[in-house]
Structures are given as structure tokens and as C-alpha cells.
Amino acid sequence: MSALAPPYLKVAEDLRGNEDQWRAYRSSGNCVILAGPGSGKTKTITVKIAQLIAEDVRRPRRIACITYSNACVGELRSRLTKLGVDDGDRLSLSTVHSFCLTELVLPYAAMAGLDVPNPLVVASPRQARSLFGDAYRRQLGGNAPGWFRIASDKLRRTIPDRGSDEWHAWDGRETEVVEAYETLLLQNGLIDFDGLVLAGLQLIEKHEWIRRAIRAKYPVVVIDEYQDLGLPLHRIVLALLRAGVRIVAVGDPDQSIYGFTGAQPGLLRALAGLRQMESVALKLNYRCADRIIAASMALLPEPAEFQSHDGRSGEIQIHRLECGIREQADYALQMLVPALLKANPSWVPGDIALLYRTLNEGSPIAQAADALSLRYFRLDNGSPIKRTRLSEWLMDAARWCSGGWQTGEVSLSQLLKAWRRMYRSVMNESELLTARKHLITALFSLRGGALPLHRWILALRRDVLNEMLEQEPGLADEKDNLEELINAAAKGGILQGFTVEIFGNQGKSPDQLNLMTLHSSKGLEFQAVIMIGLENGVFPSGFDRTDEQLKEASRLFYVGLTRAKTQVHLIYDSVESPLITSIRAAT
Amino acid sequence: MRIRSQVLRKRSRGRDKTVMRLSRIIIKNFRNFKHLDIRLGEHAVVLGENKVGKTNLLFALRLILDPALPDSLRKLRLDDFWDGLTRPLKAEDIIEVSVEFRDFEGNENLLAVLADHLVKPDPMVARVTYRYQPVQGLERAPRSEADYEFILFGGDRPENSIGYELRRWMPMDLFPALRDAESDLARWSRSPLRPLLDRAAKTVDVKELNAIAGEVHTITSKIAALPELSSVVSQVNDQLITMVGDKHAVETALGFSPTDPERLLRALQMMIDGGKRGVAEASLGSANVLYLALKHLEHQYLVDEGERQHTFLAIEEPEAHLHPHLQRLIYRNYLQTRDETQAGPEPRSILLTTHSPNVASVAPLANVVVLRHVAGEGHTIGRSLKGIKLNASDREDLERYIDVTRGELFFSKGIILVEGDAEKFLLPTLAKLHDETLDFDALGISVCSIAGTNFAPYVQLLGPKGLNIPFVILTDFDPKGEVVSQEDADPDEVGVVNSYGENRVVNQIMQHLLNEEVWTKSDFAKVMKLAPNYGVFLNEFTFEIDVFKAGAADYFLTAITKLSTNKKMHARFKDLSADPDSLDPLQFLKDIDSIGKGRVAQRLSAVLVDERADVCPVYIKEALKYLKAKLA
């Protein structure tokens, strides 16, 4: 192969040895790729995207790639960059929300006569919360309980058509509040994130000319993490498919764990079952050892046939400790972790993850780690560092400031590009140049890994971030996140001791132990996984009663198990979770 | 060496017969345009006198569509604001150029380029706008150019900014008025032949080329080795050494072309006249034809190879380089409507600016755009014929009529529509002798004969919905029962009471001039009464008779005597001269017809000039007064 050949061709050769991956790579039409844990999903899909761009779609037409969250977008982007594929010119990489915003609502809503605010302002989560509270008070009186909001959000995502029979048949308390909330948003000149997707769905389903426009721009649409995306996106995909757009969908129904947001594993299965779709299951699991694969398959009602990669046997241990979460954490941190590191000299703390269901477990575990002065990376709702576009960018900027500018580990150009992606509304060259100059000056003056995080971030906010957050409608949710981060870094906050360097290395440093919820662990892998709090009645929780809820709990457990390459430790108090029971036979 | 013409590959495109067109141009506050808003057909032939702003119109389009225009020129200057704006400029004064596109839906590549810029969904219309405006966020009144910026955006969304991409896929290619086709053809780096040869060269067998290069080398060496020649070379070399010394001297040799295979192809030249002469010796005209042909091929290639999707070919003043018959030949071909072409539609729109009646005369009416300076207001407005509704036969009549000699219609400031050649020859004289300020040429007034056809299409062409050029109509009363001078479309004579002319005025002419409301409210008599207010003037009988009755009996006699040898006719006119009231209209007209109305009119004109006689009939006086007021 010549040295000038595009990089993806070389990586594609790696896929040739794996029959399923190769079939996915060679598929020339609509295709669903069912990708189990450790099956090389990201590699397959990124090479596939590079190939589509190089071989199938000619300029000026492009490819759209839609995925679940900003974190997923970031992950795909960095993997594609390594393959020499740049976001922008040939590829539009976005979340469902930003796809609906930039490709459908902004260009077409007014022309199609859709009732959306003009100018379009996206509600910040705080504004949305407050209007929802108003709607609830108006319809039902009193304050809206958290579960009601979650249920209402889910309702909006599962029955998109107001006025349908299904909608009318639904619990009137919920539908009335939702309708009142949507009216309030409109009256206040706002649209929320779910509203964007619903508007996008309406536009694409109702208007043939919009489907034609999208097909012309994007003859191929790739969707990643399909299992998490819910009904509105599924219907958008079906509409595109009917309009002649080529669809490549990737996901794993077994890892669908966002049922509370309206995600349904059945949608990807339904898509895969369509006559015009080729369905490819990636069966080989490169990650997990044999026993872990066997145990995980015992959790699935219809297990796919996964094959292990290298015949490592692996280990699953179940620990009955007869004590509470805090003590379980102490045991894991003082006994299990040191033993694992001792027995496996090549491992570092970053190879081990403590996984748990919710913040209820996360807080005591973090306290236990704090008491032992352990360095850790925490990812749950209690963590002051959310994984958002802005915080990811801030962490990269922090790494650049704390030495990356010398080592080249983070490049200034990548930082500037990512910043430009957030700051889309700057239109003219001179304004853009001025803003860039400010940013670069600020970054250069804030170099120094030992700077306190609080000072660093305040300076950055003053010089650069404030202006961007003021002007950018798409960053509505980031204002609150930044506020929260600054409070945490201030005196008395959880991050008060953080320097720029520590902040930048969050989740990247090999000597930090990982503490995270099962939901946050999706897509990651570790040598060893320790799951805490697997008590009967807690996991699945007492609220998980329906068949669907129980199935989702077991998928969540499945996700946890399959994060481990080699070892799994399952810890409970005194009555083991039925989930443990169901895998016992396989251990 | 001669290049044999290449057969073009069959184009794969062409799923759809429609081809994108530039459907509308709106310009505000730019140079001589205060507010121009014109709709265009498939192509645009922009007509207008010098300095009316034809080049500015093209430059406005270049701001949006020309990839070769650097951004430094895209940033305008304060001088570019329309002069009529009061200075200092206010913050809300902006320059804006918008263009709209239609009929691109059938081409998915173009739709991909334009899908974000739609302003209407069905059928799709896309709009792109250029704005030169005070820098956003400037909190005071703008003071200097530093306070201004330009933005380019699609749809109605200023935040939807547009860069190079659009210009790349659907570029405007400008052939300026003062281009030099011969030297462009002769210079490799600028030759439109180069991209074509470069493409062909890619497929040439390298071995074969090397072999040919070897042969060329051998032959060249043989010639250069002729003793007479080699001594020339050594003389040159010696002279060079004496001048600059051997360190700096270049060693020269004789040859037809560089012998490096790669350069060999670049040394190829276009030859004309069967290879006898180089293209540099071609006439101005042929070089330009060749230039256009090569560009044409290049555009075709670029589209076939997917490098672009459409070309807007802008040609300034083609008349500067082409003989009249070539102008007509080439542009009739270029501008033919798409369903007329056999090869299928070309992905190309032509934008021509011209003040040549030759080019104007071959332009399909729907493509004509006329720019006109609004005297006193200091700006230019434009009218296009895209919107006027003519039926097919009227359209054909007009297009046939607007031939070379009458293409000047589009360039006129005022028009007098008359029935035939007699009026055409005689009117300038009648007018000048009646009122010496009425010099038609100086005022830009054209007299246009409809040659016995129908006034209606002309009224639509010139009327408020068409070019909106001030005009008057002079038509004959034609009493019923007399020989009709026009082929009036009233075979059943419904509506004709006592005059064909009155029916013509009401049902052919005024119907198109009155608005719907007035038309439905008015009866026949009312409409007749309104006619002069709209510039429509009817005589009492027919042109010659009305002139005769205005006191021209003696002059007719003089003219007829010189034109005819018919003694009986001489006698008749002598009698008429003695007693004008004895006129027998039928005999009078018969006599004039026997000589020819045109000839009589020409001779009469000469007689009137000699005698300085004002014999202008009343209806013509009124018409002239009306037109003069309109032009003031």
C-alpha cells in the first residue's frame, strides 16, 4: 500500500480478519450494526465513516453523523481525527438536539409555518425547570415532584404527537401539565431541548421538500448509540429512510439503559428487522475474559452469541460483607484495590473502577476515598465536574496550560477548533479574529499547572467565556454548569484544593482510581470492576416493578459487568440482589 | 501542430430538463443603484446606455458569486454608497445585494449547496445576500471605513454565513469588456487551452510521449546543425559573453519547442487557417470566438468532473470584439431557450451587458433587462420582461420585429409607435418643424413602426408591466367601409361601430393600459375619452389624409411631381392644391399607394424641410406634447 493512501485504508485491513466487522465495512446500503461490549464498535464505525466520505459521497454533499451526547460526539471526533477525517467540511457530527436545531428548525421552521419562537432562544435547564414548576402549579397546584418531571419528559419523548389517540388516552394529569408547559415556553419565546427534537420530527415528517433538502445535503446519515435515542429520532430515521437517505445505524439494544428518558431497546431491533436493512452483529468480544462473557450472557433474555477473543478465563468474585455502603467502600478501597494492584504489577489505579447505581452509593464511597486521601476521578451527579461540551473543553484547556503547550499532548489548534464549534454564532472574520486573539492571550497568560483552579477559571470566564455564553443560544445549559464548577472550586467547595493540573487530568491520569455510576461507565473499560451495593431491594430498586423496568435494571448490571477485562468483584450487604443470583451459575 | 476537436463525453447529468437560473437581483444603495429589483429569465441580456451602471450590476453579482474576487475587494468603500444618501451616513444605511435562484431542485448537488438558504419551499427559491454595514455592536454612528464590515449570508438568516463554498460550486466567470483574447490565447499560463490540454495529457501514454520528444529533439538538432544556422547561434553566444562575461551568459540554441516531454505539450499552439498561421495572427473577432469556444469546453469539463455544478458566464460588451453578424450568430445560439436546444440543457447561465442593438435584437424577450437612469433622481432603475404575459404568437411577432434595425427600441428614452413606414419617415421632420426643440435623436426618441401588425404586444412590452418606457401611439381612425390599414383582429366586426380605429384603441390598446378596476367600470365612450391621457392618439381618417388636411396640399403636389411621371396624377394633385376641399380620399390614397407610401413620405419630408413648413396634424401635436411632458 502506498504511503499516500488515506489512513483509514490501513486500519480497514485490521477489520478484514473479523468476518462481521468486514461485512459491516463492505456493506453498501442501509445497514444496522449490532455491536456488543468490546466488539470494536467505535473502530468499525469510524473506519466506515472515513470510507463513506472517501468513496461514496462526493462533494458538495456530506455525511451526517448523529449520536447521543456531547461526550459521544467528542469521542467520535477524536477517533475520526486520528483517521484523518476532519469534522466540518465533509462531515457534520452532532447530537440529535443540535442536528434538529441546525439542520431542521433554524433553516426551515419559519418557512414551514411551524410555531416556534422567533428568534429562537433555547431555554437553559434552569429556565425550563422554573417554567415546568409554573405549569405544574397552574394545573395541579403545589410544587412539582422530581419524579413527575421525569415522567413528563419521558411522556414527551414517547408520544410525540399531541392530539393523537394515544396522547388522549394517557393520564390527563401528565398530558395537561406537559401541554401547559409547552405553551408557557412558547409564550416566553423559548424552546427546550426536547422541543427542538419534536419540532425537527414534525418538520421532517410533514414536509416532502424538507426531506428532499436533507437527502441532497446528506445522502448518508450515520447514527451511533441508537439504543439510547428514543422514539422521535427513530421516526426521523424512518422518514429519512423512506425519502431515500442511506442509513447506517449502530448500537447495542442490550446496553439500552436510558429507559427513564424514553429510550427503548426495541427500536433498534425493529430497525434491524426492516426488509431494506442489512443487519450485522459483531459477535467477537475483544475485551472481556471468558467467564465474564458467560456471566453477562446469563443476564440477557435473548443472548446473542458472543465469542471470546483470546481464551483468558478471568475471575468473578462475590463478596457478602454484612455491612453498609460506607463499610463496603472501605473494604473495596483498603483490601481489594491494594490486593489487585499487588497481584498485577502492571496495573495502575486508573485500571480499576468502583461502579454503583446512584448518588446514594456514590457519596459514601467518595467520603471513604477522601478519608483515605486517595486520588480519584468521580463521575456522577454529585460530581461538580459534569461531562459537558464546555467542561470537556475546560479540561483540555487546563491540560494545555499545565504543560501541554510544551509537550504537544494537547494542541492549541485543537483547542481553538473545539472553541469555534461551541462559539458558532460569530459570523464575520474581524469579530472572530478579535475573539480568537482574546482567547489565545488569556490561555498564554494562564499557563501554569500549579495555579489554583478557582483563580484560573475566574480569569478565563472574565476574559473569554462570559462573552461566548452571552451570545451563544446553543450553550444555554452551560451557564449553570460553569457557575456550579466555579462554586465547587471556591473556598469551602469540593474542589477547593484543585490546581489546574489536577483538573486537567480528571479521568485521564493513570494514578486516579475511578468512581462512577453504571450509567457514566458506558463505553469505558477497565482491567477490574468492583460493584458496590448489590443488595436485594436496592438493585433493582423497590420502584422497579414492571417487566420493562426489571429488564432495564438487568441491562444496567450487564453494562457494569462488561466494563471489566479481567476481574469482577460484586459486593453486597446480606441479601444478594437477584441479579447476582442469575449469574451465579455462570461464575 | 493542429488540435483535432475532441468529442465530448456523454454527460451523465441531465436527470432533469430544468437548469438552475438566477431569478432575481435586488440591489440597495450601491453606486448608482438606489433600489433595483429585477426578475430574470434563463439568461440576462442587460441593455442600457453608457454609464447607466451595467458594470456595477455585474460587480454587485461578483460580490456574491465570483470566486476570483479577493475579499479585499469584497470589502467596499464609503464611495460605493449611492450618492443620493445624505452624508454623513447613518447607522441604518447599508449596501445590500441579494440574488435569488430557482429551478435547482432537480440537481441534488446544487440542492445540497443551496438547501440551507431557502426562502420559499415549493417550488424552491434560495436567496443569498451580501451586506456592507456598520460593524455589529458599534455603539456610535459610523465614521470611517474602519467602522464597516461585510457579511454574506443565505436565506433570511444573517447568522447563516456563507463563504467560499457557494462561489466554488456555482461560480461567476467574468469576461471583462477590455479583455485581450489574443494574448491570453498566446500565453500558456492564461490560455483557456491549458486546462483542456492538461486534462488530455493525463491520459497520454508516457512511453509514446518520450519517443515523440526524442524525434522532435533529433529533427530540431538536425535543423540547428545546418551550418548557416549554427553560425548564427555561435555569434549570439559570443555577443552575450562579450556583454556580460561567461559567468552570466545564457547559452542559447535554436529549436521549435522544449524537448522535455512534459514541456513539449505546453509548447503546442493553436493554429488557424489549416495550420498556416498562429492564433496571434487571427483577427480580433476570430480570436474571441475561439476564446469563447475554449471557455465553453472548459466549463463543460468542470461540470462533468464534478468540480462545479453551474457556471454564470458574464460577458461585458461582446460587441467590442465581434463583427455585427458574429454578434448575432453567436449570441442567438448562446441565448436560445433551453427547450430549443437539442443537446439537452447546459448547466450555464449567460449574463450579457451590451449597448449593441445587434445583440439586443437576438435576445429572447424574457431575458431582456433594461437599465435606465432616472433623470433628476440620480439613480438607475431596471425593468425586465420576465414578468410580462404574452401569448406565444405575440411573443414571436415581437421577437421577429425587434430585429437589428429596431433593437434600438430598448435603448430609447421615449417611443412613438406608429402604423407604418410613412409615419416613421415623416414624423421626425413634422416634429422638428413644429417645435425645433423636438430633435428625436438628441432626445433619445425612437419612432417605431408596427408595420401593419398589432399594437397590443408592444403596449405590453413598453407599458408599466413591461419596460415602462414613455411612449405614445399614433393610430388611424379608419372609418368603417374604407380600406382597413391594419389587420384588425375583429373579423366579425363585433364592437366596430363606425371606425376600425376606435375599436383598436379600446379593445387592443387601452385594455392593456387601464387597470382592472377602471376597465370594468368604463364603457366604450369613456375608454375612448381616457385614451389621450394614456398617450393614445387617434386621427380623423388616416395619416396621409390628416397631414394633407393640415395644410400640406402644395407640398404633396411638389413631392408627387418629382416622384411620378403619371400626368393624370399630376393633374389630380394640381387640382387638390388649388382646392384642397375637393379631396377624394380613396383616389388620394390609391395614388400614393401606387408610388409607395414610404417613398412619398421620404420625398414629402425633404420638401417640408426645404420649405420649413409646419404641417403637423392636431393629433400628432397632442402626442408630441404628451411625450415631451413625460420626458421632461
Q: Which three cell numbers stand for residue A204?
A: 421532517
A40 marked as binding residue: yes
Q: Are A282 and A33 in contact (CB under 8 A)?
A: yes
- Judging contacts by C-beta atoms under 8 Å, the chain B residues touching residue A215 are 108
Q: CB B112 to CB A60 under 8 A?
A: yes
- pLDDT the model gives residue B345: 66
- Cα(B549)–Cα(A487) distance, integer angstroms: 104
pLDDT category, B15, cuts 50, 70, 90? very low
- Cα(A494)–Cα(A541) distance, integer angstroms: 29
Count other Cβ atoms within 10 Å, centred on residue B175. Answer: 18
Q: A209, A212, A220: which to substitute to probe chain B, counting the most B Cβ within 10 Å?
A: A209
Residue of B nearest to A424 (CA): B159
- pLDDT the model gives residue B10: 38
For residue A115, the distance in angstroms to the closest alpha carbon of chain B comes to 17
Amino acid letter at B10? K
Three-class SS of residue B513?
helix
- Cα(B33)–Cα(B191) distance, integer angstroms: 35
Task: Nearest by CB to A213, from B111, B150, B157: name it.
Answer: B111
Three-class SS of residue B66?
coil
Three-class SS of residue B499?
strand
| Pairing mode of beta strands B277-278, B271-272 | antiparallel
Average pLDDT of A452-463? 94
Residue of B nearest to A89 (CA): B165
Residue B490 has pLDDT above 60, yes or no: no
Q: A90, A221, A429, A471: which to substitute to probe chain B, counting the most B Cβ within 10 Å?
A: A429
Q: CB B155 to CB A107 under 8 A?
A: yes
Greater confidence (B223 vs A403) lies with A403
- Cα(A263)–Cα(A68) distance, integer angstroms: 11
pLDDT digits (tens, 9 = 90+) for B560-581: 999 999 999 999 999 999 999 9
Count other Cβ atoms within 10 Å, centred on residue B211. Answer: 12
Q: CB A60 to CB B165 under 8 A?
A: yes
Which residues, in sequence order, are bridge partners of residue A544?
Answer: none
- pLDDT the model gives residue B495: 55
Task: Round the average pLDDT of chain B to a whole number and report it.
Answer: 84
A35 marked as binding residue: yes
Is B217 exposed, middle or buried (CB count within 10 Å of its CB: 0-12, 13-18, 19+)? middle
CA distances from A495 to A32, A418, A484, A500, A508 (A): 43, 25, 11, 11, 17
CA distances from B588 to A436, B117, B569 (A): 89, 68, 9
Window from A90-94, B229-233, B264-268, B624-628 with minimum mean pLDDT: B264-268
Average pLDDT of A456-466? 94
Average pLDDT of A275-291? 94
Task: Round the average pLDDT of chain A to a whole number and report it.
Answer: 91
Three-class SS of residue A479?
helix
Window from A101-110, A301-310, B91-100, B600-609 with minimum mean pLDDT: A301-310
Three-class SS of residue B604?
helix
Q: Are B541 and B492 in contact (CB under 8 A)?
A: no
Q: B104, B119, B161: which to substitute to probe chain A, counting the most A Cβ within 10 Å?
A: B161
Torsion of CA A577, A579, A580, A586, to 10 degrees: 160
Residue in the structure block whose three cell numbers are 470589502: B75
- Judging contacts by C-beta atoms under 8 Å, the chain B residues touching residue A432 are none
- pLDDT the model gives residue B483: 55
Beta strands in A325-438 (DSSP E): 352-356, 376-379
Residue B11 has pLDDT above 60, yes or no: no
- pLDDT the model gives residue B481: 63
pLDDT digits (tens, 9 = 90+) for B44-94: 999 888 888 999 999 999 999 999 999 999 999 999 999 999 989 999 999
Q: B15, B105, B138, B159: which to substitute to probe chain A, counting the most A Cβ within 10 Å?
A: B159
pLDDT category, B238, cuts 50, 70, 90? confident
Q: Are B109 and B304 in contact (CB under 8 A)?
A: no
Share of chain B above pLDDT 70, in %: 90
| Pairing mode of beta strands A315-320, A564-572 | parallel
Residue of B nearest to A209 (CA): B121
- A312 vs B: CB within 8 A: no
- B94 vs A: CB within 8 A: no
- Judging contacts by C-beta atoms under 8 Å, the chain A residues touching residue B112 are 60-62, 216-217
Residue of A nearest to B165 (CA): A60
Helices (H), A283-388: 290-298, 325-331, 337-343, 359-371
User: Which of A33-42, A309-318, B451-460: highest mean pLDDT?
Assistant: A33-42
- pLDDT the model gives residue B403: 65
Supply the DSSP symbol for B321: T
Is A147 exposed, middle or buried (CB count within 10 Å of its CB: 0-12, 13-18, 19+)? exposed
Q: Are B420 and B485 in contact (CB under 8 A)?
A: yes
Three-class SS of residue B134?
strand
Greater confidence (B15 vs A397) lies with A397
Residue of B nearest to A425 (CA): B159
Residue A129 has pLDDT above 80, yes or no: yes
pLDDT category, B489, cuts 50, 70, 90? very low
- pLDDT the model gives residue B484: 52
- pLDDT the model gives residue B343: 56
**Overall residue count recorded for chain A in this entry:** 587
Angle (CA) B531 B537 B540, round 5°: 120
Q: CB B112 to CB A427 under 8 A?
A: no
- Judging contacts by C-beta atoms under 8 Å, the chain A residues touching residue B309 are 60
- Judging contacts by C-beta atoms under 8 Å, the chain B residues touching residue A221 are none
pLDDT category, B200, cuts 50, 70, 90? confident
Distance separating the N- and C-terminal Cα atoms of chain B: 62
- pLDDT the model gives residue B178: 65
A565 marked as binding residue: no
pLDDT digits (tens, 9 = 90+) for B282-337: 676 777 778 888 888 888 888 888 889 999 999 888 877 777 777 777 777 777 65
A37 marked as binding residue: yes
Supply the DSSP symbol for B484: P
- Cα(A543)–Cα(A520) distance, integer angstroms: 21
Count other Cβ atoms within 10 Å, centred on residue A460. Answer: 21
- B149 vs A: CB within 8 A: yes
- Cα(B104)–Cα(A388) distance, integer angstroms: 40
Is this prediction's pTM over 0.90? no
Q: CB B157 to CB A106 under 8 A?
A: yes
A36 marked as binding residue: yes
Q: CB B161 to CB A108 under 8 A?
A: no
Q: CB B113 to CB A60 under 8 A?
A: yes
Greater confidence (B556 vs B275) lies with B556
- pLDDT the model gives residue B493: 53
pLDDT category, A157, cuts 50, 70, 90? very high
- Judging contacts by C-beta atoms under 8 Å, the chain A residues touching residue B119 are 111
- B132 vs A: CB within 8 A: no
- Cα(B372)–Cα(B466) distance, integer angstroms: 13
- B150 vs A: CB within 8 A: yes
Q: Are B556 and B564 in contact (CB under 8 A)?
A: no
Q: A92, A111, A221: which to substitute to probe chain B, counting the most B Cβ within 10 Å?
A: A111
A113 marked as binding residue: no
For residue B119, the distance in angstroms to the closest alpha carbon of chain A comes to 7
Residue of A nearest to B137 (CA): A431
For residue A110, the distance in angstroms to the closest alpha carbon of chain B comes to 9
- pLDDT the model gives residue A399: 92
Residue A146 has pLDDT above 70, yes or no: yes
- Judging contacts by C-beta atoms under 8 Å, the chain B residues touching residue A217 are 111-112, 115-116
Share of chain A above pLDDT 70, in %: 99
Task: Nearest by CB to A428, from B115, B119, B151: name it.
Answer: B151
- Judging contacts by C-beta atoms under 8 Å, the chain B residues touching residue A207 are 121
Amino acid letter at B95? I
- Judging contacts by C-beta atoms under 8 Å, the chain B residues touching residue A216 are 108-109, 111-112, 115
Q: Which three cell numbers stand for residue B225?
A: 546543425
* C-alpha closest to that of B349 among B614, B12, B20: B20
- pLDDT the model gives residue A317: 95
- Cα(B385)–Cα(B408) distance, integer angstroms: 16
- Catalogue the long-range contacts made by A302-311 (C-beta closer than 8 Å, 24 or more residues apart): A304/A34, A304/A36, A304/A254, A306/A36, A307/A283, A309/A38, A309/A284, A309/A285
Which residues, in sequence order, are bridge partners of residue A513?
Answer: A376
A349 marked as binding residue: no
pLDDT category, B627, cuts 50, 70, 90? very high
For residue B120, the distance in angstroms to the closest alpha carbon of chain A comes to 7
Q: CB A112 to CB B108 under 8 A?
A: no
Greater confidence (B159 vs A189) lies with A189
Average pLDDT of A200-217? 97
- Cα(B311)–Cα(B56) distance, integer angstroms: 20
Q: Are B593 and B542 in contact (CB under 8 A)?
A: no
Question: Which residues, in sequence order, are CB contacts of A556 under 8 Å at separation 6+?
Answer: A257, A357, A518, A519
Average pLDDT of B438-460? 87
DSSP-assigned states of every residue in A197-215 = HHHHHHHHHH-HHHHHHHH
Amino acid letter at A191? I
